[in-house]
Amino acid sequence: MRALAAAATALAAPIPARLLLVSARRAAPRFGYCRASSSARLLRSSCYASTTMGDETSTSASAQVHEPAVQGAGSVKQQISNLVALSLRATVPEVDVEPTVEVCTTKFGDYQCNNAMGLWSKVKGSGTSFRNPNAIGQAIAKNLPACDVIESTSVAGPGFVNIVLSNSWVAKRIQDMLVNSIKTWAPILPVKRLVLDFSSPNIAKEMHVGHLRSTIIGDTLARMFEFSNVDVLRRNHVGDWGTQFGMLIEFLFEKFPEWEEVGSVAIGDLQLFYKASKEKFDNDAEFKDRAQQAVVRLQGGEEKYRSAWKKICEISRNEFDQIYKLLDVQLEEKGESFYNPYIPQVLEGLSNQGFIKESEGARVIFIEGHKIPLIVVKRDGGFNYASTDLAALWYRLNIEKAEWIIYVTDVGQQQHFDMFFKAARMAGWLPDPNEKKFPKTSHVGFGLVLGADGKRFRTRNTEVVRLGDLLDEAKSRSKSELVQRLTDNGKIVDWTEEELEKTSKAVGYGAVKYADLKNNRLTNYTFSFDQMLSDKGNTAVYLQYAHARICSIIRKSNMDVEELKMNGDISLGHPDERVLGLYLIRFAEVVEDACTTLLPNVLCEYLYNLSEMFTRFYTNCQVVGSPEEPSRLLLCEATAIVMRQCFQLLGITPVYKL
């Protein structure tokens, strides 16, 4: 059991009602659980406009408002919104309204302000001098502050304000990034610290393909928030404190009398060890009795049982760490056992508030809209996953001071989270989800990984696919195809074995990740090595080739790109140069969008579109040997940098030659 001294003071006093949080995790089988100023006010509010923070959110009445971006910081969309906010204040000072700015879908602008119609509905009939929405739009355009960002504006239809960005400003923004790093393009989000609860396998059960989505999606979300300067607490809420441990401990004692000396080699396949103990539990009444008593002894703190529990956890944790190392995923484990000491006082506080009721021998919370209650104490008086999660949520809000807690699990657990969030709001601990305040909670649901038959992805003998085996095969296939292609074009002699190994690993693992992340996470997707390792279409392999080609162009120029960054200038005279430059500077708002919607596929779509735009630019704009070579090389470098940052956010290692 981990030391909890840091939280002792917090737990010594009664828990304030608003901080007691009702939690219940997914419904789980008995033997395992897996998670897989006025103007300043306007500027601040623009950060919150039109955002949906995840599938479902809950927010707290004690909102924490963060300061707006400094001049020139944040995404382009944020900066345009700031300018529009000042214009709105001058145009309709009597109306409190948030800027509505979107990317323009017509040829008449780059961004569009869509506030006019909404404002008209608020001011007409009030003696306003405006005659229609178009007049309001004209006023908004006229009142935009003079600056070097906007080249021109026009007003269309019922007041849509089309905004064209200045080419020189776009070019300068790109050059500033090249000099000062892409980190200067990080979006500014209205949150400072969050907890991401993802992966969450069960101790003594090997990670399989079912854990792939939670681990990859969670890691990408963490990377995007971290890039955006949010303090992310990556939490692995492993199942390490359930009924199954009595079974596993007794089986360990029986199989290995000298169990203190046992390591992973002795136990062998931990998955088989689990299956064997489960079979004995189901078929041996005496063993079952001993196992059930072992749970009591473990939870009672008996040293022998605690030591055996730690041994099993250690062996299992080592196996998890191997997978996380392959995937380059960082997590801090705080499993079910970590929160166990917090449960009694948390439940006592809820009970004192009158939310916990007796029902058929159990203690429950009744949730409006649900036929079944939320069980927080079982009939036998034992705690369950709901009570553990309740304590975890209390800890995350009170000890870790998280503003946003995000849970990444499959969509099948949506009902649980709906009950969880409704219970928290019912108790007054979190306000209505339509209020854009902190802290908040979100469930990031995801669909299934399917096989070619349309059913859950399994091996031929119906076993779930082990994640380690899947990654090994991806690398093996990638290396075979790479060696074959290099042999066919006579370039194999230019590659060392180390280069082949590193490249095949980057391409193979990246292909698996991207094939998952490019899909809307809410949907199922079909796992296919042939599709994900294809060098055509929207695949990681295609994108790796696109990046490697840009690197090759820069190398062939024989120019010092680092010197160009400091002394060169970017010109966007050709239409395709401008299209590429404009898309490059939208990177920050894409990351912002992916964070606020909790949809990694938004970033994948941007990365793929960027590679397509670069291809069109390169086809129509000669780089090496052209009069515009220095400028166009800088566009190449900027594209490569943005692509690499996208790869990094997706957890993919970029390759520089293929």
Which of these, 67, 296, 313, lies nearest to 190 by C-alpha position?
67
CA distance 191 to 54: 14
pLDDT at residue 273, rounded to an integer:
83
Segment 158-202, tens digit of pLDDT: 999 999 999 999 999 999 999 999 999 999 999 999 999 999 998
CA distance 330 to 339: 21
Please, are residues 165 and 582 in contact by the beta-carbon 8 Å criterion?
yes
DSSP label at 24? -
Segment 150-164, tens digit of pLDDT: 999 999 999 999 999
Task: For residue 106, give the 3-state DSSP assignment.
Answer: coil
pLDDT at residue 12, rounded to an integer:
35
CA distance 491 to 658: 10
Give Cβ neighbours of residue 444 (< 8 Å, ≥ 6 apart): 54, 55, 217, 218, 221, 406, 407, 408, 409, 521, 598
Token pair for residue 627? Answer: 């009069």
Mean pLDDT for 530-541 is 94
Q: Cα–Cα distances in Å, from 326 out to 371, 510, 511, 654?
A: 43, 11, 13, 15
How deeply is 414 buried, as exposed, middle or buried, from its count of CB atoms within 10 A (0-12, 13-18, 19+)?
middle
Distance of alpha carbon 360 from the chain centroid: 40
DSSP label at 464? B
Please, are residues 161 and 116 in contact by the beta-carbon 8 Å criterion?
yes
Which of these, 283, 612, 142, 505, lies nearest to 604 by C-alpha position?
612
Mean pLDDT for 130-143 is 96
CA distance 363 to 344: 13
β-strands 160-165, 111-113: how paired?
antiparallel
How deeply is 180 buried, as exposed, middle or buried, from its count of CB atoms within 10 A (0-12, 13-18, 19+)?
exposed
Token pair for residue 414? Answer: 């949506």
CA distance 476 to 479: 5
Percent helix, strand, coil in the chain, to 5, is 55, 10, 35
Give Cβ neighbours of residue 51 (< 8 Å, ≥ 6 apart): 436, 596, 597
Please, are residues 438 and 404 in contact by the beta-carbon 8 Å criterion?
yes
Mean pLDDT for 259-279 is 74
Q: How confident is the model at residue 137 (pLDDT cuts 50, 70, 90)?
A: very high
DSSP label at 408? E
Query: Which position has the higher pLDDT, 38 or 531?
Result: 531
CA distance 644 to 550: 11
The label of the residue with tokens 């998955």 reads 271
- Residue 639 pairs in a beta bridge with none
Mean pLDDT for 127-132 is 90
Please, are residues 86 and 38 in contact by the beta-carbon 8 Å criterion?
no
Segment 411-426, tens digit of pLDDT: 988 998 888 888 778 7
b/e string for 191-213 if b means 16 or more Cβ within 10 A? bebbbbbbbbbbbbbbbbbbbbb
Asked whether the predicted pLDDT for residue 95 surpasses 80, the reply is: yes
Q: How confident is the model at residue 432 (pLDDT cuts 50, 70, 90)?
A: confident
Mean pLDDT for 423-444 is 83
Mean pLDDT for 293-299 is 86
CA distance 138 to 397: 47
- Kind and range of the H or E element at 153? strand 150-156
Q: Which amino acid is at 361?
A: G
Token pair for residue 132? Answer: 């229609």
Query: Which position has the higher pLDDT, 53 or 81?
Result: 81
Asked whether the predicted pLDDT for residue 360 surpasses 50, the reply is: yes
Query: Which position has the higher pLDDT, 425 or 76?
Result: 76
Distance of alpha carbon 121 from the chain centroid: 38
Q: Cα–Cα distances in Å, from 149 out to 79, 155, 568?
A: 9, 18, 21
Asked whether the predicted pLDDT for residue 616 surpasses 60, the reply is: yes
Mean pLDDT for 391-408 is 93
Token pair for residue 340? Answer: 């166990």
Give Cβ neighbours of residue 117 (< 8 Å, ≥ 6 apart): 133, 158, 159
How deeply is 236 buried, as exposed, middle or buried, from its count of CB atoms within 10 A (0-12, 13-18, 19+)?
buried
Sheet of strand 362-365, all strands in order from the earlier edge strand to the far edge: 357-359, 362-365, 374-377
Please, are residues 539 and 478 in contact by the beta-carbon 8 Å criterion?
no
Token pair for residue 512? Answer: 């698996």
Sheet of strand 150-156, all strands in order from the earlier edge strand to the far edge: 101-103, 111-113, 160-165, 150-156
pLDDT at residue 11, rounded to an integer:
37
Q: How confident is the model at residue 541 (pLDDT cuts 50, 70, 90)?
A: very high
What are the residue ranges of helices labelled H in 47-166? 76-91, 116-123, 133-142
Segment 457-492, tens digit of pLDDT: 875 554 667 788 899 999 999 999 999 999 999 999
CA distance 451 to 565: 48
- Residue 404 pairs in a beta bridge with 194, 440
Query: Which position has the higher pLDDT, 107 or 593?
Result: 593
Return the minimum-mean-pLDDT range out of 194-198, 363-367, 643-647: 363-367
Rg (CA), the chain: 28
E strand residue ranges, 198-347: 231-236, 332-333
pLDDT at residue 20, rounded to an integer:
38
Give Cβ neighbours of residue 134 (< 8 Å, ≥ 6 apart): 116, 155, 157, 158, 159
